[in-house]
Amino acid sequence: MASKDVLGIIFSNANDEVVPELTALRTMGSVPFAGRYRLIDFELSGMVNAGIPQVGILTNSNYRSLMDHLGNGKPWDLARKRDGLTILPPFNLSDSGVFKGRMDALYGSIGYISDSGKDYVLITDCNVITDIDYEAFIDYHIEKKAEITIAYANGFSPKIKDATELVLDGDGRVIDDRLNDNYLNSVNCSLKMMVINRNLLERILHEANAKRITGFEEFFARNTGNIRIYGYEHKGYVRIIDGIKSYYEANLDLLNPDVRRALFPAGKPVYTKISDRVPAKYGINSSVKNSLIADGCKIDGEVENCILFRGVTVSKGAKVRNSIIMQNTVIGENADVEFVIADKDVQVGVRKKLCGAENYPVYIGKGIII
């Protein structure tokens, strides 16, 4: 039970640029996912379920929706006198403006990290959807007497700007850490999650600030020889959101019972802000097949292969297929919608037709009336 000695840090804005449509008005962490959640719920719940008592959320821009979602951390049992949840707005010690990389983002909150007094820091992004067990990850770090442990999965390298490939020796120690911009198959791809000893993190941050290094990769690549950096292989479910298509696929993955079991394991609930919506209502002649339906939905039409978020209305005669429909969106009577990602509060008018393609879902922005 080392988790009580761990500080969690979540980058809520990392990789915002890969889904500019979804992050125009919000952070990656507050991107809606899986019918009733925001991406950050999975990181936060994972940490809480692992027994981590203190979590700091690093923000950079557009974080009002994130603050609204997190509140004081109560839904995750993180509203506490001791430890608990803290939102860390941009705080720049060196120059003005928002931060450029992970190192200077963390450096801006170095006081918070230091004051936590925790032995270890677990650092994650929000766009990696996985069933990783943080407790096992931390135990591995301790068992290997590592100073830094980076989680990786063998597979496709995502199309994110700091996609990193780990090269390991037989013992699992990282001997090289290189940016992978060819997006190769079958590489040991970093999940952008690491456990790091807090004292070392503080030292690195001071050094990096002095040398104007903003990203971890450059620093790690130079130091694999003198810092004990280990890789921790995660063999379970992984989906890295690196564009609107993978966002779409990650949602539809939840129609697979194995993925649902992986992401919603028994006894480890995923917590989110409670909205107190009434259960979903199915009308006469409604037809729903292979779909995930949240509370507050009203369905009088046909729905197939969809994720419907809270409070979605599918009117009489409407057809919605292969689509992700976010909170409070209304699909009008006899409308026909396929391969669409509709953001919150969209209104698709009576008899309107909208159709994307399987490899290119159409995105409809928040509040748009069609």
Partner 1 sequence: MARKHECVAMLLAGGQGSRLGILTKNIAKPAVPYGGKYRIIDFPLSNCVNSGIYTVGVLTQYQPLVLNDYIGNGQPWDLDRFDGGVHILSPYQQIKGTEWYKGTANAIYQNINFIERYDPEYVLILSGDHIYKMDYSDMLDFHKANNADCTIAMIEVPWEEASRFGLMLVNDDGSIAEFEEKPKNPRSNKASMGIYIFNWKKLRKYLIDDEANEASGNDFGHDVIPAMHGAGERMFAYQFDGYWKDVGTIDSLWDSNLDLLNPKVDLDLDDDSWKIYSRSPAAPPHYVSASAKIENSMITEGCEISGDVDFSVLFANVRVEEGADVKYSIVMPGTVIKKGATVQYSIVAENSVIEEGATVGRSPEEMSNIEDWGVTVIGNGVTIGKGVSVEPKAMIDTDMGGEK
Distance CA(125)–CA(47), nearest Å, equals 13
Pick 260 or 352: Cβ nearer partner 1: 260
Query: Smallest distance, Å, CB 318 to partner 1?
Result: 16
Query: Smallest distance, Å, CB 370 to partner 1?
Result: 24
Pick 9 or 293: Cβ nearer partner 1: 293
* 3 state SS of 353: strand
Q: What is the DSSP string of 182-236?
A: S--SSEEEEEEEEEEEHHHHHHHHHHHHHHT---HHHHHHHHTTTS-EEEEE--S
Distance CA(1)–CA(267), nearest Å, equals 18
* 3 state SS of 334: coil
Rounded (10°) angle between helices 39-49 and 134-143: 60
Pick 197 or 347: Cβ nearer partner 1: 347
Pick 35 or 332: Cβ nearer partner 1: 35
Question: Is-contact 116 54, C-beta < 8 A?
Answer: yes
Q: How many CB atoms lie within 10 A of CB 50?
A: 21
The phi and psi torsions of 10 (rounded to 5 degrees) equal: -120, 130
Pick 277 or 352: Cβ nearer partner 1: 277
The phi and psi torsions of 26 (rounded to 5 degrees) equal: -155, 175
Query: Smallest distance, Å, CB 264 to partner 1?
Result: 5
Could you tell me which residues come within 8 angstroms of residue 353 by beta carbon, excluding any fewer than 6 positions away? Answer: 335, 336, 337
Pick 199 or 256: Cβ nearer partner 1: 256
Query: Smallest distance, Å, CB 16 to partner 1?
Result: 25
Query: Smallest distance, Å, CB 271 to partner 1?
Result: 6
* 3 state SS of 243: coil
Distance CA(276)–CA(310), nearest Å, equals 10
- Residues at the interface with partner 1 (CB under 8 A): 34-36, 74, 254-255, 257, 260, 263-264, 269-272, 274, 276-296, 307-308, 311
Pick 289 or 351: Cβ nearer partner 1: 289
Pick 119 or 295: Cβ nearer partner 1: 295
Query: Smallest distance, Å, CB 232 to partner 1?
Result: 27
40 φ/ψ sector (left φ>0, alpha ψ -120 to 50, else beta): alpha
Pick 199 or 290: Cβ nearer partner 1: 290
Query: Smallest distance, Å, CB 66 to partner 1?
Result: 20
Closest CA to 358 of 245, 277, 251: 245
Pick 94 or 290: Cβ nearer partner 1: 290
CA distances from 73 to 40, 54, 78, 81 (A): 12, 11, 5, 12
Query: Smallest distance, Å, CB 49 to partner 1?
Result: 11
Distance CA(108)–CA(96), nearest Å, equals 11
Residue 168 identity (one-letter amino acid): L
Closest CA to 200 of 234, 228, 172: 228
Query: Smallest distance, Å, CB 189 to partner 1?
Result: 27
Query: Smallest distance, Å, CB 252 to partner 1?
Result: 12
